[in-house]
Amino acid sequence: MSLGEFELIQRYFVRKPDDWPGHPQLGHSQVCLGIGDDAALLELPPGERLVVTTDTLVAGRHFPHDAAAVDIGWKALAVNLSDLAAMAARPLGVTLNLTMPEANESWLAAFARGFWGLADIADVPLIGGDTTRGPLSVTITAIGCVEESVALKRGGAQAGDLICVTGSLGDAGAGLALAMSSAEMAGISDDDRAYLLDRLHRPMPRLLEGAYLRGIASAGLDISDGLLQDLGHLLKASNVGAELAVEQLPLSEPLQAYAATSSAALLQVRRWALSAGDDYELLFTLAPARARLLPQLRYTVIGKITPTAGLRLTAHGKPWEHDSLAGYQHF
């Protein structure tokens, strides 16, 4: 990077204490030394464990080459914070490695707007990073903390536990179909279209929901690859099986409305909810007796854990199968 580019990066990514509305003196209290030295120094609350996760998004693979920079900035951060939420962790800071073909100011400004839009909501400081020239890609590493005894791990689900999800499922799958100008949902309203595209491009990491689950859920993870695939990871790590009731899958109002239009639409919506990725909701298991410990959390029970391996789908109590899901149903 040339000096001019360096200054451009500084302008959009290095914040001064005055830039932190809630922290007028020092920025985030856990940051002892921010950007500008060889490395950042962070304080970890006593007794807590460090939680570390990282994801790379590559242009042309994880987002289209012409994707809006504001969405890339938001989503690259969101997918990493979602992994912290999936551990019931609190974010301490993130690093940002941005590789760009050129330092285009309007692109950078939009990217920064998306990044900080979510970073400010999640109250997470940028503690370091690297800017390099090359084909567009974004790597974010998120660092958080949680007490080990209450961290949300994948193993730990027990037979009889309820299977639960936050929010609604399938929205990002529907959003992707809309973004790719699929023939489906041709009659959808502008508001519903905007909602579904927003769910695809600007997922909201479930940090607060993850925090509620500390020490209460028996196992959990975030749904990034689709419900069935991610549930498969949880079942494998916990060495159990599951029954899912497809009529219980939580659907947003736009998807409920679309599902009501035809049986083909209902089937399509269920396929999105079961196997499309990118929803970034939390999937967790809960001993029935502990459900009363979550009065504040909105979630939906979609099934229960069974003692023997394998996954069985039902609709209104009867077995439910569909060829297009065959690859996911047995592991």
Q: Which of residues 17-46 bind a second copy (CB under 8 A)?
A: 32-33, 36-44, 46
CA distance 203 to 96: 18
Q: Are 275 and 226 in contact (CB under 8 A)?
A: yes
Q: What angle do CA 221, 137, 34 make, to 5 degrees?
A: 75
CB of 75 to a second copy, least distance (A): 14
- Considering beta carbons, is residue 14 or 32 the nearer one to a second copy? 32
CB of 324 to a second copy, least distance (A): 19
The yes or no reply on residue 144 touching a second copy (CB under 8 A) is yes
The 152-191 site mask, x for binding a second copy (CB under 8 A), equals -xx-------------------------------------
- Considering beta carbons, is residue 69 or 92 the nearer one to a second copy? 92
CA distance 276 to 311: 17
The yes or no reply on residue 228 touching a second copy (CB under 8 A) is no
What DSSP character marks residue 59?
Answer: B
Q: Say if residue 305 is exposed, middle or buried (CB neighbours under 10 Å; 0-12, 13-18, 19+).
A: buried
The yes or no reply on residue 133 touching a second copy (CB under 8 A) is yes
Pairing of strands 126-133, 49-58: unpaired
Residue 252's SS3 state is coil
* Secondary structure element (H or E) that encloses residue 249, with its range: none
Binding a second copy by CB under 8 A: which of 56, 248, 300, 306? 56
Q: Which residues are annotated as a binding site for ATP?
A: 129-130, 154, 224
- Considering beta carbons, is residue 141 or 252 the nearer one to a second copy? 141
CA distance 223 to 331: 17
The yes or no reply on residue 229 touching a second copy (CB under 8 A) is no
Q: Which of residues 100-129 bind a second copy (CB under 8 A)?
A: 127-129
The yes or no reply on residue 302 touching a second copy (CB under 8 A) is no
Strand partners, 243: 304, 312
The yes or no reply on residue 290 touching a second copy (CB under 8 A) is no
Q: Which residues are annotated as a binding site for substrate?
A: 62, 278, 328
Binding a second copy by CB under 8 A: which of 9, 13, 28, 59? 59
CB of 13 to a second copy, least distance (A): 13
CB within 8 Å of 87: residues ≥ 6 apart: 51, 53, 144, 146, 151, 152, 153, 210
Number of residues located near a second copy, criterion CB under 8 A: 58
Amino acid (one-letter) located at 67:
A
Q: Which of residues 74-103 bind a second copy (CB under 8 A)?
A: 83-84, 86-87, 89, 92-93, 95, 97, 99
Alpha-carbon radius of gyration of the chain: 21
Pairing of strands 241-245, 311-315: parallel
Residue entry with tokens 């940028």: 126
Both tokens assigned to 128:
């370091």
What residue ranges bind a second copy (CB under 8 A)? 32-33, 36-44, 46, 49-62, 83-84, 86-87, 89, 92-93, 95, 97, 99, 127-130, 132-135, 137, 139, 141-144, 146, 148, 151, 153-154, 221-222, 237
